[in-house]
Amino acid sequence: MKRTAALLFLLFSLQINASGSIHFTVTTEKTRCVLGKQIVITATLVSDKDLKNITAPALPPSEFYSLVRTSRNQHQSSSIQIVNSKMTQTKKITYLFYYHIALKKEGTFTFPSLVFKHGSESYQSKAFPITVGKEPVQTQNISVRIRLNKKRIYAGEQCILTFEVAQKPQAPVNLHTQGFISVVGNLEKSFGKNFSISRLFTNQLSKSQKRIQGVVYLTYSLSFSVIPIKSGNYSISPVPFEYMELKQTQRRRRDFFDDFFGGDFFGRGIQQVPKTAYSNRLTVNVLPLPPKPDDFTGAVGTFSLKASVNDNSIPANEAVTLTINLSGSTRPGNVTDIKLPDMPDFEVFTPEKHTYVDTTAKGISTRKKYKYLIIPREEGDKTIPPITWTYFDPNKGAYKTLSTDPITLTVTKGKKGGKRQARYLTQEDIREIGRDIRYIKMPNKLKRQSTEPHKNPVFIFLFPIPFLIALFALLYRLQATVLKKDPLVTLQKRALNKAKTALAKLNKEFATATPANAVSRIAEIIETYISHRFGFAAIGKTLDELKEELARFAVDQSVTETLIPFLEQLDIYRFSGSTPDKKAISELLEKTQLLIEKLEKKEKKA
């Protein structure tokens, strides 16, 4: 019976949308074309029910094109959702109509809107322009652009800067990782001292597709948090982006086998030519803040403020914890501390502070947490007044004051009465002092002590210990002085142990779950080891510079030739957006261990 009822419930709760909804759009593969060439116009019809006996919308004639042929395709998809114990099935059928047209007249024309009729209903698409020229449209292989997400910015307001590189599909270019790495420094130079700029996503390039001048480009973007320090009109100079252009070159063949096995049989080679593309010039108008109120904290953004206590009913002279959370859309340095109002009924201690910083696609957000220990001295109903905090809201263009609700505490009679007394020490101070007092207790019988303690074996054994401790302290201080004079020696001695410890920790995490930033941590471990072991900053150097530095320290060429491709492999994972699988990460960890051991042996021999 229960199974039958459940089946009936399922049948009644399964509803298929039979009313019917239709979406009709028309698109093209390109909007800038060459005279005499063919392009494809695609009409897309999406419906939630099967449409029988439908025909393609009629294409109006035009002097700019002629219809060569048409074709048709369709596919279907379905999904089921359960909301409030009600199951709903959604079905979508997509009909595709393709119009292959030949362009026969030069100029710019408007491709007309097409009309699809079904029963008594008509659905009309949007018209769009198409430009026809005699010569092929020359589009750039690389396009660089910078843009801000806000047009109106106040001093101190956080905005998001996007650095975007668009690459033409199948273009003969190579976007190497060093080009993206140098963008951070180039942006800092362009924005100068009037802006604070910081990268939002350290190990990730956002990839997408975008249509530019009728051509679909592959786009790679980096996001930055930008905060103007003061008001004014600023012109951001174009930001350079370095990449490699691939060119095919002819070369003389020196040996048949060399060409057959080592390169192109016909003597052609690929040459990488360094190129630099520049972004647009960006104009930023930073508005000044309006006249400031007296209680303005200096913070600009959107914020929230909350306050609570761990107990609303406590005895007099007992402590209660007041917790305040302040959150806002800015960096930590722009969030000033909370100031409590006058609280004459409470004794307030110095707060415990915690700062939490998070980075999202919307920018940098900060949360500050304050824990105040407060003690009510007298019984009765006591109130913690509202806590206020003033900031500037750039979305409203006005100052706002956050205020918490007043908190009422019920203070009961304490163990020793709740009457307040004037004293310099608090109840907790007195208790701590009481714990430190120890009363001297005399034994019932006193033992006679020897008048010659130097003959006691215990004395003879313990007598040299203070001298040994003093000698050890002297030697330790001498060694610390030497290490302090030459910290590089200390780093070199501890480089291997630190690298092994970091690898062991990463291996331990990898045994239970794959860390999201495993590749970045591997690169950091090996770069830190090289920096400490050889005494130069490996982080930030190009691979060629790193190779030259290692050669200067007489590192064997075989080790260097193994290290450089390995670092290139790590950079590909870090900046291409691809994520290695668990097996690949395990292999990277093993290679890192072997490379560090090889570098250690070669350096010792040198």
For 262-315, write each residue's pLDDT tens digit.
444 444 567 788 888 888 888 899 999 999 998 898 899 999 999 999 988 989
CATH number assigned to the domain comprising residue 328: 2.60.40
**Which has the higher per-residue pLDDT, 538 or 152?**
152
How far is CA 20 from each of CA 17, 49, 93, 440, rounded to the nearest angstrom?
A: 7, 6, 11, 95
Confidence of residue 401 (pLDDT cuts 50, 70, 90): very high
How far apart are the C-alpha atoms of 322 and 373, rounded to whole Å? 6
115-125: average pLDDT: 87
Q: What are the pLDDT digits (tens) for 455-466?
A: 777 777 888 888
442-457: average pLDDT: 68
Neighbouring-strand partners of residue 223 = 162
How far apart are the C-alpha atoms of 368 and 372, rounded to whole Å? 13
How far apart are the C-alpha atoms of 439 and 344, rounded to whole Å? 38
How far apart are the C-alpha atoms of 546 and 565, rounded to whole Å? 12
Are residue 160 and residue 252 in the same domain, yes or no? yes
Are residue 173 and residue 301 in the same domain, yes or no? no
CB 227 within 8 A of CB 190: no
The helix/strand/coil state of 582 is: helix
Provide the greatest CA pair distance for the chain: 129
Are residue 91 and residue 147 in the same domain, yes or no? no
CB 248 within 8 A of CB 298: no
How far apart are the C-alpha atoms of 375 and 21, rounded to whole Å? 66
Q: Supply the mean pLDDT for the chain.
A: 79
Task: Identify the pLDDT of residue 366.
Answer: 92
pLDDT at 19 over 60: no
Confidence of residue 514 (pLDDT cuts 50, 70, 90): low
Task: Identify the pLDDT of residue 550.
Answer: 82
Domain interval for residue 596 = 487-605
In this prediction the pTM is 0.47
H or E segment and range at residue 115: strand 115-118
Task: Identify the pLDDT of residue 600.
Answer: 79
Are residue 491 and residue 587 in the same domain, yes or no? yes
Confidence of residue 602 (pLDDT cuts 50, 70, 90): low
Task: Choose the most confident range, by mean pLDDT, from 1-10, 71-80, 485-494.
Answer: 71-80
Give a yes or no: residue 448 inside a domain: no
pLDDT at 155 over 70: yes
Task: Identify the pLDDT of residue 590.
Answer: 86
Confidence of residue 423 (pLDDT cuts 50, 70, 90): very low
| DSSP-assigned states of every residue in 68-105 | EEEEEEEEEEEEEEEETTEEEEEEEEEEEEEEEEEE-S
Buried b (16+ CB within 10 A) or exposed e, 195-225: bbeeebeeebbeeeeeeeebbebbbbbbbbb
Task: Identify the pLDDT of residue 488.
Answer: 56
Are residue 152 and residue 280 in the same domain, yes or no? yes
Tell me which of 53-62, 140-149, 267-276, 555-564 is least confident.
267-276
Of 162, 188, 224, 202, nearest to 539 by C-alpha is: 202
246-250 contact pairs (CB < 8 A, 24+): 246/172, 246/173, 246/174, 246/270, 246/271, 246/272, 246/273, 247/172, 247/271, 247/272, 247/273
Give a yes or no: residue 574 inside a domain: yes
Are residue 266 and residue 319 in the same domain, yes or no? no
Q: For residue 82, give both structure tokens.
A: 């359960």
CB 425 within 8 A of CB 327: no
Confidence of residue 15 (pLDDT cuts 50, 70, 90): very low
Are residue 266 and residue 156 in the same domain, yes or no? yes
CB 195 within 8 A of CB 235: no
Are residue 166 and residue 272 in the same domain, yes or no? yes
pLDDT at 18 over 60: no
Last residue of a domain, one of 392, 412, 432: 412
Task: Identify the pLDDT of residue 558.
Answer: 82
How far apart are the C-alpha atoms of 304 and 416, rounded to whole Å? 40
Q: For residue 167, give both structure tokens.
A: 């690459």
Are residue 338 and residue 358 in the same domain, yes or no? yes
Task: Identify the pLDDT of residue 257.
Answer: 44
Are residue 60 and residue 185 in the same domain, yes or no? no
CB 302 within 8 A of CB 362: no
Looking at residue 395, the DSSP 8-state letter turns out to be T
Last residue of a domain, one of 412, 432, 452: 412
How far apart are the C-alpha atoms of 193 and 230, rounded to whole Å? 10
Residue with the two structure tokens 């919307």: 362
Q: What are the pLDDT digits (tens) for 208-236?
A: 887 776 677 888 888 889 999 889 998 88
Q: What one-letter code names the amino acid at 140?
A: Q
pLDDT at 591 over 80: yes
Q: For residue 425, give both structure tokens.
A: 């020490």
CB 566 within 8 A of CB 596: no
How far apart are the C-alpha atoms of 575 and 573, rounded to whole Å? 6
Residue with the two structure tokens 């597709």: 209
Q: What are the pLDDT digits (tens) for 171-201?
A: 888 887 888 888 888 888 888 788 888 888 6
3-state percent helix, strand, coil for the chain, nearest multiple of 5: 30, 40, 35
Q: What are the pLDDT digits (tens) for 127-138?
A: 989 888 876 555
Strand spans (E) along 229-329: 232-236, 240-250, 268-278, 282-287, 296-300, 303-309, 313-315, 320-328
CB 235 within 8 A of CB 286: no
How far apart are the C-alpha atoms of 52 and 118, rounded to whole Å? 10
Of 605, 602, 599, 604, nearest to 530 by C-alpha is: 599
Give a yes or no: residue 434 inside a domain: no
pLDDT at 255 over 70: no
Give a yes or no: residue 219 inside a domain: yes
pLDDT at 107 over 80: yes
Q: For residue 271, give both structure tokens.
A: 């040459």
How far apart are the C-alpha atoms of 327 and 367, rounded to whole Å? 4
How many domains does the chain divide into? Answer: 4
How far apart are the C-alpha atoms of 121 and 47, rounded to whole Å? 13
pLDDT at 402 over 80: yes
Confidence of residue 66 (pLDDT cuts 50, 70, 90): confident
Burial tier of 165 (Cβ tally within 10 Å: 0-12, 13-18, 19+): buried
Last residue of a domain, one of 115, 133, 151: 133
Are residue 262 and residue 174 in the same domain, yes or no? yes
Give a yes or no: residue 471 inside a domain: no
Confidence of residue 16 (pLDDT cuts 50, 70, 90): very low
Residue with the two structure tokens 């109106």: 152
pLDDT at 62 over 80: yes
Are residue 227 and residue 329 in the same domain, yes or no? no
pLDDT at 439 over 90: no
Give a yes or no: residue 458 inside a domain: no
Q: For residue 153, give both structure tokens.
A: 């910015």
H or E segment and range at residue 546: helix 543-552
The helix/strand/coil state of 196 is: strand
44-60: average pLDDT: 86
232-255: average pLDDT: 76
Give a yes or no: residue 442 inside a domain: no
**Which has the higher per-residue pLDDT, 544 or 17?**
544
H or E segment and range at residue 224: strand 215-228
H or E segment and range at residue 601: helix 582-605
Residue with the two structure tokens 């190129």: 275
Task: Identify the pLDDT of residue 534.
Answer: 79
Give a yes or no: residue 426 inside a domain: no
Task: Choose the most confident range, by mean pLDDT, from 351-365, 490-504, 588-602.
Answer: 351-365
Q: For residue 2, give both structure tokens.
A: 């229960």
Q: For residue 41, give both structure tokens.
A: 């116009």
**Which has the higher per-residue pLDDT, 112 or 188?**
112
Task: Identify the pLDDT of residue 302.
Answer: 92
